[in-house]
């Protein structure tokens, strides 16, 4: 008879977590409001009248966030990548052609997924730190015929904004292609009008602009995209990510799989706070906050990686001067100032997030000071005082946007 394994040594979570929570000022996850945290501690039955009402409200509020009237809007149990995978695996299969506009890790991931489901994939990739322009898109669309075009609104990995998304979507439409737009780091931080721009599938995650928890994401399909899905009744590669099965739960309150209830309740609260603030005010708060941060960083003498004309405001990338070690800098910052920012995927940058609760004046002062002092600790002669003065001037000017 086999001997049962003994229980492992007990280690309380408090021994693992830092003694003081770090302020999350990286590329996500971001700090969450108390209402979201509270909701995330509640479990109710995932089926039944109470959950039906929650789902109904989550859908209505998501329509507002995405600016769509589509009723094919649903949550996905999983990271934003799961929502990306749902979009790809329901619209692409062997024989279908995808045009992937890649400007970094995440927009490139959509291409990897498209290859994974057997689609015929063409990748257009400008030099690092450049966006996809409408002209580039037009050229690529003229060269061949595609079923699906994918692109990202804001590329978190390097801090580039694809500001031509509306024109690119229109061009794709004119060439008969459906569009999948990754709005993971941008939704509710800057305008993204799904219906008005004609986007067919829009995706976001919980842990960025929405200031909810990671692990429950959102996806919305246009009527045109839904038609394609409904007419392709083949066995899907992902059972959980089958949009038709998922719509059973999100459209008809029937069992698909046991829904991530606390995450959906958290999302409800995050969306409710967005609706209460209104998108217009939220966009202003994000814009002012990010611009103030950028002014502070530049006044200190730090160089921003992306030129202003296509710089993403949701995630700001700072170029590391020679000799600065990203890991050491960030460790010093979290040990000394209890502030965490992000490294990068192979680029010589660090990144500061400006999404959701990160865009509050108290968080801005703290991250800017911590960043300045940490660069100074790395031997870079930054002028911390000038940076703090610059951010203060911006914030005083725009104070109405920072009423917490």
Ligand X SMILES: Cc1ncc(COP(=O)(O)O)c(C=O)c1O
Chain residues binding ligand X by CB under 6 A are: 27-28, 79-81, 106, 152, 156, 182, 184-185, 205, 214
For ligand X, the closer of residues 154 and 372 by Cβ is 154
* Residue 62 beta carbon to ligand X: minimum distance, rounded to whole angstroms: 17
Residue 290's Cβ-side half-sphere holds a number of Cα atoms within 13 Å equal to: 27
Name which of 295 and 341 has its Cβ closer to ligand X. Answer: 341
Question: Residue 106 or residue 226: which is nearer to ligand X going by CB?
Answer: 106
Q: How far is the CB of 39 from ligand X (least distance, A)?
A: 19
Are 159 and 317 contacting, i.e. CB atoms less than 8 angstroms apart?
yes
**Helix locations, 158-218, DSSP H:** 165-174, 194-197
DSSP string for 293-304: HHHHHHHHTPPB
Check: CB of residue 44 under 8 Å from CB of residue 37: no
CA 64/CA 117 separation, integer angstroms: 31
Q: Give least dist CB 164 to ligand X, A.
A: 16
Please, what is the minimum distance in Å from the beta carbon of residue 156 to ligand X?
3
CB 83 to ligand X: min, Å: 8
- Eight-class DSSP state of 90: H
Instruction: Write down the least CB distance from residue 104 to ligand X, Å.
Output: 8
- Residue 33 or 79: the one with the smaller Cβ distance to ligand X is 79
Q: What is the dihedral of CA 109, 349, 204, 403, to 10 degrees?
A: 180
Q: What is the largest CA-CA distance in the chain?
A: 75
Nearer Cβ to ligand X (155/200): 155
Return the number of the residue (218 or 391) whose C-beta is nearest ligand X: 218
Record the tokens describing residue 149, joined without a space.
């075009």
């Amino acid at each position: 008879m086999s001997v049962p394994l003994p229980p492992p040594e007990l280690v309380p979570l408090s021994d693992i977590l830092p003694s003081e929570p770090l302020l999350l000022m990286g590329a996500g996850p971001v700090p969450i409001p108390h209402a979201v945290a509270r909701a995330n501690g509640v479990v109710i039955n995932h089926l039944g009248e109470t959950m039906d009402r929650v789902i109904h409200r989550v859908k209505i509020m998501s329509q507002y966030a995405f600016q769509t009237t589509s009723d094919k809007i649903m949550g996905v149990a999983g990271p934003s990548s799961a929502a990306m995978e749902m979009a790809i695996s329901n619209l692409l299969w062997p024989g279908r052609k995808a045009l992937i506009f890649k400007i970094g890790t995440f927009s490139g991931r959509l291409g990897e997924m498209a290859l994974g489901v057997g689609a015929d994939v063409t990748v257009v990739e400008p030099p690092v730190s450049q966006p996809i322009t409408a002209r580039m898109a037009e050229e690529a669309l003229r060269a061949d015929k595609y079923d699906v075009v994918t692109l990202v609104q804001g590329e978190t990995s390097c801090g580039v904004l694809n500001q031509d998304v509306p024109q690119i979507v229109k061009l794709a439409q004119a060439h008969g292609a459906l569009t999948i737009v990754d709005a993971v780091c941008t939704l509710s931080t800057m305008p993204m009008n799904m219906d008005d721009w004609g986007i067919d599938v829009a995706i976001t995650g919980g842990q960025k602009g929405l200031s909810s928890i990671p692990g429950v994401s959102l996806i919305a399909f246009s009527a045109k995209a839904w038609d394609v899905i409904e007419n392709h009744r083949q066995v899907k590669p992902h059972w959980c990510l089958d949009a038709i099965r998922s719509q059973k739960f999100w459209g008809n309150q029937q069992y698909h799989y046991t829904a991530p209830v606390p995450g959906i309740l958290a999302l409800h609260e995050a969306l409710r706070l967005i609706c209460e603030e209104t998108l217009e005010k939220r966009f202003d708060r994000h814009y002012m906050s990010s611009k103030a941060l950028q002014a502070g960083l530049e006044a200190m003498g730090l160089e921003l990686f992306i030129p202003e004309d296509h710089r993403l405001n949701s995630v700001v990338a700072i170029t590391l001067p020679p000799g600065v070690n990203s890991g050491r800098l960030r460790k010093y910052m979290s040990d000394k100032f209890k502030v965490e920012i992000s490294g990068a995927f192979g680029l010589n940058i660090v990144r500061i997030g400006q999404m959701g609760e990160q865009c509050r004046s108290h968080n801005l002062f703290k991250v800017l000071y911590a960043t300045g002092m940490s660069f100074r600790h790395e031997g870079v002669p930054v002028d911390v005082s000038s940076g703090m003065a610059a951010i203060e001037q911006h914030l005083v000017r725009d104070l109405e946007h920072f009423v917490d």
